[in-house]
Amino acid sequence: MTNVAIVGASGYTGGELLRMLLNHPEVEVTEITSRQYDGVEAHKIHPHIRDSGLVFKNKQPSELEADIVFTATPHGASMKIVPDILETGAKVIDLSGDYRYKSRDVYEKWYGMEHTSDAEAVYGLPEIYRDEIKKANLVANPGCFPTGAILSSYPLIKNNIVDRIVIDSKTGVSGAGVNPSETTHYPNIADNVNPYKISTHRHMSEIQQELKGFEGVKVSFTPHLVPVIRGIQTTSHSFLNEENEDITPEEIRELYQKEYGDEYFIKIMDEGEIPHLSSVRGSNFAHIGGFEIDETGRLVMLSVIDNLVKGASGQAIHNMNILLGLPEQTGLTHFGLHP
Ligand SMILES: NC(=O)c1ccc[n+]([C@@H]2O[C@H](COP(=O)([O-])OP(=O)(O)OC[C@H]3O[C@@H](n4cnc5c(N)ncnc54)[C@H](OP(=O)(O)O)[C@@H]3O)[C@@H](O)[C@H]2O)c1
């Protein structure tokens, strides 16, 4: 049995890690940390997690005794905690943005703070980086918007099909974490669709990093907050390049099937089938559909994920399975909560 610990376990992604890890057959959750709930039983904060026997402790990172540690902490906090955990010999999966960037300058520009850690990480998108993840000591779990956006566009970029991608995403409110704010206050979000940071959301830089690795494609991104609790629906409008203006939807679909055919967590929708948030809620699956091209040469692709699962904690457990050499779907096979 592998011992795992969760730092920041009182938050939303920490709660999701607990929900899934407590049913994982190959690991035991031995420690959960919280600064504000020291000595409090897990179910007092996460009422759905009963009989775990776990109690939050306000422990220093260097005092943790575990083989794998998840840091479910805000950006800025993770980079202060992770180096001390690595010193203990544990492998770390960090859920924040702190270790996702190849360039420190890009991180500092988009996150507006100095980056103070030299620890080296692998970008933890298993469908693309599994060989690197296997050897990593530190895995940077991808952002929630980037997960859905990158997966739904990667085959287009890899095969050099388009020269511009405009990504439009709708997210549920749990993406903002457990602490309430004016933006997430019920009267401000209910019965409403709220575009925000329409050209400046920091996840755009992460999406660009991963998709612009193949030169020459312009990638832009606009998020919207919608009154649902979980889930991210992404619509991407991609514009075919000159060499591919005659490509057919069937040929695009074949590219996706070739790229993702063996991927357990990616489901390619049948022709005419629209992916729905309710199909993936609570699960680690990404549903990808669309595959329609209009008369202007615009290809419309759609994807849905649960921001707290495939977009965070489920993907983190997928990364853990890879680090431990386990079958990748271990503990993650449950379907979504439709309706
Ligand atoms: N929510 C999502 O959909 C989502 C998706 C992908 C990635 N992420 C990322 O995952 C991380 C966690 O997100 P979340 O939604 O779970 O956030 P959250 O609900 O706000 O929980 C974060 C927890 O971290 C602890 N914490 C805060 N500041 C800390 C510090 N300076 N040092 C140590 N612990 C600290 C807090 O617990 P105590 O105060 O009890 O110590 C808090 O409960 C963030 O980096 C976020 O960007 C979130």
Residue nearest to atom 21 of ligand 1 (CA): 11
Q: How far is the CA of 118 from the centre of ligand 1 (A)?
A: 21
The predicted pLDDT at position 216 comes to 79
Q: What is the pTM of this model?
A: 0.98
CATH no. of 2-120:
3.40.50.720
Closest ligand 1 atom number to CA of residue 308: 3
Q: How far is the CA of 224 from the centre of ligand 1 (A)?
A: 21
Residue nearest to atom 30 of ligand 1 (CA): 77
Q: Is the pLDDT of residue 212 over 90?
A: no
Q: Is the pLDDT of residue 304 over 80?
A: yes
Residues 6+ apart with CB under 8 A from 294: 300
Tell which one of 95, 173, 184, 309 to mutate to probe ligand 1, the residue whose CB is within 8 A of the most ligand atoms.
95
Residue whose structure tokens are 């040929």:
251
pLDDT band at 230 (very low <50, low <70, confident <90, very high): very high
Q: How far is the CA of 155 from the centre of ligand 1 (A)?
A: 32
Instruction: Say if CB 168 and CB 234 are below 8 A apart.
Output: yes
Concerning whether 143 is annotated as a catalytic residue, the answer is: no
Q: How far is the CA of 71 from the centre of ligand 1 (A)?
A: 8
Instruction: Say if CB 314 and CB 329 are below 8 A apart.
Output: no
Closest ligand 1 atom number to CA of residue 56: 40
| CATH T-level topology, domain 145-306 | Dihydrodipicolinate Reductase; domain 2 (3.30.360)
Instruction: Say if CB 325 and CB 293 are below 8 A apart.
Output: no
User: If we measure between CA atoms, which residue out of 127, 141, 155, 129 comes closest to residue 264?
Assistant: 127
Q: For the segment 66-110, what is each residue's pLDDT rounded down to a tens digit?
A: 999 999 999 999 999 999 999 999 999 999 999 999 999 999 999
Q: Is the pLDDT of residue 29 over 80?
A: yes
Where along the chain do the CATH 3.30.360.10 domains lie?
145-306
Instruction: Say if CB 275 and CB 288 are below 8 A apart.
Output: yes
Strand order in the sheet with 194-195: 194-195, 218-225, 162-171, 232-240, 298-305, 286-293, 266-268
pLDDT band at 271 (very low <50, low <70, confident <90, very high): very high
Q: Is the pLDDT of residue 213 over 90?
A: no
Q: Is the pLDDT of residue 330 over 80?
A: yes
Q: How far is the CA of 269 from the centre of ligand 1 (A)?
A: 33
**Mean per-residue pLDDT, 10-28:** 98
User: If we measure between CA atoms, which residue out of 27, 1, 31 comes closest to residue 316?
Assistant: 27
- Dihedral sign, CA of 152, 158, 162, 167? positive
**Mean per-residue pLDDT, 213-238:** 93
Q: Is the pLDDT of residue 214 over 80?
A: no
The predicted pLDDT at position 206 comes to 98
Residues 6+ apart with CB under 8 A from 180: none
Closest ligand 1 atom number to CA of residue 10: 43
Q: For the segment 167-178, what is each residue's pLDDT rounded down to a tens digit?
A: 999 999 999 999
Instruction: Say if CB 266 and CB 280 are below 8 A apart.
Output: no
Instruction: Say if CB 50 and CB 23 are below 8 A apart.
Output: no
Tell which one of 7, 10, 13 to mutate to probe ligand 1, the residue whose CB is within 8 A of the most ligand atoms.
13
